[in-house]
Chain A
């Protein structure tokens, strides 16, 4: 369907995004329509508050982390459509015969999940960071001590080099048995 925004998506841009992310043209156009709907002030980019205006995201316990992940690739506090699509591309389902080195393969999905815990972006999940994320998910319903012991136990099971932090490799190993392909994939329609 056509869009009412003043910004239009050029053919070349669609093709570039198609190559980069693997989305079909129809999907790109629909997602662009969504992007412009979220971009209420018609800036051509999104800010944090544009995301958090979505009620369902605002009440998500990890809402802030999810929004943050969009800004990890940009230098300032804005997200343009390309960056938007690159992040969404992580959640495309994995195909059996697809090319390697695309944005939606298992390692990219795992890296995305890792970054949800890695608050300061130093590629290590510390005990404090794990605790903070646990806190976001449970609110005030579980005591600090109990959360602390959950965090300790988790790190202990996973930490191989005994630095009391979880690195990306350790994280990937820990998630070896997890069906990341379906847990971190969204069913896109065509």
Chain B
């Protein structure tokens, strides 16, 4: 009996072998030409319908639970919203005060009239502090974003799959499809993409710099990044492609290193960054052979003048590719745009902004580097449903005469946030790793002091 089963397995696998190889080859060929059969988009549309179904099942279950505990709270907050679990958009409170480094305490009543000190003055700071403890603008930007309804991934919400039998079945099917069918496919594609990139750039590296080399690199890079995108089941919609950059500096909001793959499906960029080891280092060196990028050793990163100088040299050389920079300096969870570092805005007066927005329902693209490394992150992406994103090329922006680099950076950030539907924040993305500075207290202190009447 065992032998019969073994024979059956061999026969089945060999029969499947040819169609699978055929599909892989078709994908690769299509990727090279930048064409698509539209299968991924149909798949995504189908997923949306399934999510809706799951959503209704969940809502039905949670309304039943919530009705059992009702206290006589004031019903001014929409009673209709409490049906959908928590329809408040994830908020616990309605904030009355905000505190920021640049604008101090934001409170409409605090006009510039002078008043005497009152014992009740501490209430403003106290209430603001307590509100911040309950809900602040920054802390949750460094965790994965919340979804309005479940997307059938336990990594997003545990326990939901146990809500109803149909959901459990759906989740199991989804799990099997993602891990046993999609993932092996995607892994092979990713391997092909990486090998192709490394090998072809190795050969290209032997050519001297020339227009021919540049155009060949362009073909090679587009091809491998497009295969890589298919390895993540990426459905990318590019908007306003007429604004695509040919030379100069391109800035974008940062969610994950995947951003580079997405952007490189449509255009070739020179990358800036720290030289890494491991897989990333291998890719960096491969890319570095075929065209010039701006990679720094760890020690050189601190030297801002050196960085600025290298960037300037690159930008001024019209034969070189446009530089892609992520001015936030770190990965944010794609619900907001944080402070842009002014470095790149000092180098060039023309900037080409790009806004990237991922649809979180199909998979979370955010790389939480404190939680997992690059390989785990790629694994997560390749076992999600898909990677759906919108990329907007914004028209180039010039630095005005009365603007300094910081104001210019803020202006560009505002445009990117507006286009991507992201929240525009003044906070520094480095707060992911470091504490807020003691000196940042100065603004609210100054503000309060200006209000006080002193003899």
Contact = CB atoms under 8 A, between A and B. Distances in A.
Query: Do A and B actually bind?
Result: yes
Interface stretch (B82-90, B181-189, B260-268, B342-350): B82-90
B283 interface: no
14 contacts: A52-B435, A56-B137, A59-B436, A59-B440, A59-B444, A117-B122, A139-B445, A139-B446, A142-B454, A158-B119, A186-B127, A187-B96, A189-B93, A190-B73
A49 to B, nearest CB: 8
Nearest to A178: B120
Nearest to A3: B158
Interface in B199-214: none
Contact of B92 (A4, A31, A58, A63): A31
Question: For chain A, what secondary structure do more than half of its interface residues adopt (helix, strand, loop), or is it mixed?
Answer: helix
Nearest to B453: A150
A55 B138 contact: yes
B6 interface: no
A60 B444 contact: yes
B373 interface: no
A1 B136 contact: no
B454 A190 contact: no
Nearest to B442: A139
Interface footprint category on B: 35 or more
Contacts of A154: 117, 119
Contact of A183 (B92, B120, B450): B120
Contacts of B157: 1-2, 4
B117 A134 contact: yes
B168 interface: no
Contact of B441 (A31, A61, A171, A180): A61
Contacts of A30: 86, 92
Interface string A107-146: 0000011001100000000000000011001111110001
Interface string B67-78: 001111110010
B86 A54 contact: no
Nearest to A38: B139
B132 A56 contact: yes
A88 B130 contact: yes
Contacts of B442: 139
A58 B132 CA distance: 10
Interface in A144-190: 146, 149-150, 154, 158, 171, 174-175, 178, 180, 183-190
A60 B71 CA distance: 34
Contacts of B82: 26, 190
B239 interface: no
A86 B98 CA distance: 23
A185 B117 CA distance: 21
Given A26-B82, A187-B96, A55 B441 contact: no
Interface residues of A, number: 65
B136 A56 contact: yes
B401 interface: no
Contact of A1 (B96, B117, B140, B146): B146
A3 B125 CA distance: 30
Interface in A42-91: 51-63, 65-66, 88, 91
Contacts of B444: 59-61
B121 interface: yes
Question: For chain B, what secondary structure do more than half of its interface residues adopt (helix, strand, loop), or is it mixed?
Answer: mixed
B71 to A, nearest CB: 6
Given A134-B117, A146-B455, 17 more contacts: A26-B86, A54-B136, A55-B436, A56-B98, A56-B128, A56-B136, A59-B443, A62-B125, A62-B129, A63-B129, A66-B125, A66-B126, A95-B74, A154-B117, A154-B119, A184-B123, A187-B94
A189 B92 contact: yes
Contact of A187 (B93, B427, B443, B448): B93
A57 B93 CA distance: 16
Given A59-B436, A141-B446, A188 B146 contact: no
A43 B6 CA distance: 51
A116 B135 contact: no
Interface string B88-104: 10111111101111000
A14 to B, nearest CB: 9
B445 A137 contact: yes
A6 to B, nearest CB: 10
A186 B130 contact: yes
A184 B127 contact: yes
A70 to B, nearest CB: 8
B130 A137 contact: no
Contacts of B448: 61, 137-138
A10 to B, nearest CB: 14
A171 B119 contact: yes
A181 B295 CA distance: 58
Contacts of B1: none
A63 B328 CA distance: 27
B122 A133 contact: yes
Given A60-B132, A63-B129, A66-B126, A190 B120 contact: no
A123 to B, nearest CB: 16
Contacts of B427: 55
B106 to A, nearest CB: 11
Contacts of A27: 92
B221 to A, nearest CB: 37
A51 B455 CA distance: 37
Smallest CB-CB A-B distances: 5 pairs: A139-B445, A141-B449, A58-B436, A56-B132, A66-B129
A184 B157 CA distance: 34
